[in-house]
């Protein structure tokens, strides 16, 4: 048995009569013995269906206490879990099943017909304590492997990248890589058995899988699983369940700050050690406002699916506001023209390597790797103290008359305006400059758009270089987003161009 699977078993053995996982939608805590019973029941079904070592199983479920059960049961027979969004369209689910050899899929009742799709299969309906009616669809065209004890370099998880600029890549994470990443998370976040975390991020995402669930289980803590983030319920859930830390993204921070119900429900008896925030840079004013209003700290970090999540984190005793923190058990460098930069404060591509970083994708992409480094595609710099500052994606850089504009730089500036709820900056075609710096704003709706446009332009003149100042400003109700809430810039660009017709 792999080390991480053994440790998951020990966590249950040590907490048989203790509450370990709560499903908020069911409003029920599950004790260690109940989770262990569900793992055993599911593992026995996998054995009966001849799902074994190396077999990939697609999981398409909402956030649920059954997720940790499914993960552990699959690993105990040596199989591999590939979770995808519960909101995946039926056609996309069918394409995923057709393109790759999944021995089985696990879905809720509403997706059984789509997952079957006229294929020859065995459908097993299973009643679990953590999920009333689970459906396992076993593809009979695939033989499957015998159950076996997984070794450290066997695949444990297949995860899709966020795919904000193109088709998601499939990332294969081994038992060894996951364990290394989880152990680093436990140490850097100072997790103990006294901690309770709440999962509000989607559970098909590496953040929830590694940072929240696996790290908490291996450190002996408790997990509260919300079916989704709810601003109006958030602080009550934190208080009622004794939550000590939570992993969020900047969008959630912004919503909690402006949501009236959230602010009404917060009280000073809440004891949240920290909120871990990642995905993209949080504007300074939002970070400060959150920490002041809710009497906690925000720990910003940097990581991705390809690294089993975390690469950098702000130290508890020496955070640097605006940065993604310092490298933790990871080698993080800046590369320009294929060479590692040795001078601080020089912007280039962020490259990483370490014992929790993949060496290739499942479908090989050799251009993403160089001399043992994973090329993240993100731009940033390391300051003289080794703190990482992320400036955006290479593919997002705007070429404005030969000047290179990082959208994150402009977004951080415009986010300081109190009427700006969210802002995304993209390049749109311009006959004179090649690309125009275009700000797409979601407003709080407090004043006329014409006045807000004037204020944006005035603020940009005060805070940005001439070439960085937006020359086009559009107001929208929302952005096209992926399943984790990240803005899909390519689709946003298409949306803007469709609104205005031919630009430039």
CATH code of the domain containing 57: 3.40.50.980
Last residue of a domain, one of 336, 366, 394: 394
Is 344 in the same domain as 408?
A: no
- The H or E element spanning position 235 is helix 231-240
pLDDT at 453: 94
Residue 15 falls inside a structural domain: yes
What does the pLDDT read at residue 165?
A: 47
421 in the same domain as 322? no
Instruction: Give me the pLDDT at residue 284, please.
Output: 81
- Residue 324's nearest CA partner among 395, 376, 273 is 376
**What is the model's pTM?**
0.85
- Domain shared by 373 and 419, yes or no: no
Q: In this structure, is residue 212 part of a structural domain?
A: no
Would 286 be classed as within a structural domain?
yes
Element (H, E) at 135: strand 134-139
Q: What is the pLDDT of residue 402?
A: 72
Q: Are residues 376 and 481 in the same domain?
A: no
Q: How many Cβ atoms are within 10 Å of 110's Cβ, its own excluded? A: 11
pLDDT score, position 166: 53
What counts of helices (H) and strands (E) characterise the chain?
15, 27
Q: Does a structural domain hold residue 188?
A: no
DSSP 316: T
From 174, 192, 211, the end of a domain falls on 174
Task: Return the DSSP state at 487.
Answer: B
Give the domain CATH number at 390.
3.40.50.12780
Of 174, 194, 220, the residue at which a domain comes to its end is 174
SS3 301: strand
| Together in a domain, 493 and 428 | yes
Domain count, the chain: 3
C-alpha–C-alpha distance, residues 194 and 190, integer Å: 11
Of 383, 363, 483, 422, the residue nearest 89 (C-alpha): 483
Residues 427 and 389 in one domain: no
Q: Is position 211 within any domain?
A: no
In a shared domain, residues 357 and 368: yes
Tell me the torsion sign for CA atoms 16, 18, 20, 21: positive
> Could you give the CA distance from residue 262 to residue 139 in angstroms, rounded to a whole number?
46
Q: What pLDDT does 500 receive?
A: 67
Q: Which three-class secondary structure state does DSSP give residue 17?
A: coil
Nearest to 235 by CA among 175, 290, 317, 174: 290
- 224 lies in some domain: no
In the numeric block, which tokens belong to residue 64? Answer: 């649920």
Note whether 94 and 158 are same-domain residues.
Answer: yes
Q: Is residue 217 part of a domain?
A: no
In this structure, are 147 and 79 located in the same domain?
Answer: yes
- Listed in order, strand segments (DSSP E) in 243-315 are 245-248, 274-277, 297-304, 309-313
pLDDT of residue 502: 43
Chain-centre distance of CA 130, in angstroms? 23
Shared-domain flag, residues 447 and 421: yes
N- to C-terminal Cα separation, the chain = 61
Which parts of the chain have pLDDT scores under 50? Answer: 164-165, 502-504
Provide CB contacts within 8 A for 439, sequence distance 6+.
410, 414, 423, 424, 425, 456, 470, 472, 473, 474
In the chain, the largest separation of any two C-alpha atoms, in whole Å, equals: 70
Domain that residue 492 falls in: 397-500
On whether the CB atoms of residues 158 and 56 are closer than 8 A, the answer is yes
CATH number at residue 401: 3.30.300.30
| Whether residue 101 sits in one domain with residue 49 | yes
422 and 378 within one domain: no
Instruction: Please check whether residue 390 lies inside any domain of the structure.
Output: yes
């Amino acid at each position: 048995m792999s080390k991480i699977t053994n440790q998951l078993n020990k966590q249950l053995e040590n907490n048989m009569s203790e509450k370990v996982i709560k499903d908020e939608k069911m409003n029920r805590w599950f004790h260690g013995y109940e989770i262990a019973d569900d793992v055993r029941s599911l593992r026995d079904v996998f054995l009966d269906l001849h799902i074994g070592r190396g077999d990939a199983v697609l999981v398409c479920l909402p956030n649920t206490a059954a997720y940790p059960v499914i993960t552990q049961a699959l690993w105990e027979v040596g199989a591999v879990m590939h979770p995808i969004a519960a909101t995946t369209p039926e056609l996309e689910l069918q394409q995923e099943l057709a393109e790759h050899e999944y021995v089985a899929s696990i879905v809720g009742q509403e997706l059984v017909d789509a997952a079957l799709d006229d294929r020859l299969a065995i459908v097993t309906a299973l009643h679990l304590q953590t999920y009333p009616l689970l459906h396992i669809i076993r593809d009979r065209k695939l033989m499957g492997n015998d159950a076996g004890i997984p070794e450290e370099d066997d695949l444990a998880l297949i995860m899709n990248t966020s795919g904000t600029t193109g088709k998601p890549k499939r990332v294969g994470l081994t038992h060894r890589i996951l364990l290394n990443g989880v152990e680093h998370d436990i140490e850097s976040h100072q997790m103990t058995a006294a901690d309770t975390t709440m999962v509000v991020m989607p559970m098909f995402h590496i953040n929830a899988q590694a940072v929240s669930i696996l790290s908490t289980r291996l450190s002996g803590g408790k997990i509260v699983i919300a079916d989704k983030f709810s601003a109006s319920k958030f602080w009550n859930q934190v208080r009622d369940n004794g939550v000590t830390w939570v992993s969020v993204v900047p969008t959630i921070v912004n919503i909690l700050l402006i949501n009236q119900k959230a602010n009404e429900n917060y009280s000073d008896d809440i004891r949240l050690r920290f909120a871990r925030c990642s995905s993209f840079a949080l504007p300074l004013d939002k970070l400060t406002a959150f920490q002041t209003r809710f009497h906690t700290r925000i720990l910003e970090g940097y990581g991705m699916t390809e690294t089993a999540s975390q690469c950098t984190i702000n130290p508890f005793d020496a955070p640097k506001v605006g940065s993604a923190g310092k490298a933790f058990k990871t080698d993080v460098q800046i590369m320009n023209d294929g060479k590692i930069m040795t001078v601080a404060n020089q912007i280039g591509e962020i490259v990483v390597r370490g014992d929790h970083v993949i060496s290739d994708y499942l479908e090989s992409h050799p251009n993403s790797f160089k001399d043992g480094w994973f090329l993240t595609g993100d731009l940033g710099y390391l300051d003289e103290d080794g703190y990482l500052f992320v400036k955006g994606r290479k593919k997002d850089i705007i070429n404005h008359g030969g000047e290179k504009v990082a959208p994150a730089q402009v977004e951080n500036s415009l986010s300081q305006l109190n009427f700006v709820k969210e802002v995304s900056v993209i390049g749109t075609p311009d006959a004179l400059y090649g690309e125009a710096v275009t700000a797409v704003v979601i407003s709080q709706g407090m004043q006329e758009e014409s006045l807000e446009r004037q204020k944006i332009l005035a603020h940009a003149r005060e805070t940005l270089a001439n070439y960085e100042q937006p020359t086009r400003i559009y107001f929208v109700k929302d952005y096209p987003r992926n399943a984790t809430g990240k803005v899909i810039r390519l689709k946003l660009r298409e949306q803007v161009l469709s609104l205005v017709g031919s630009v430039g």
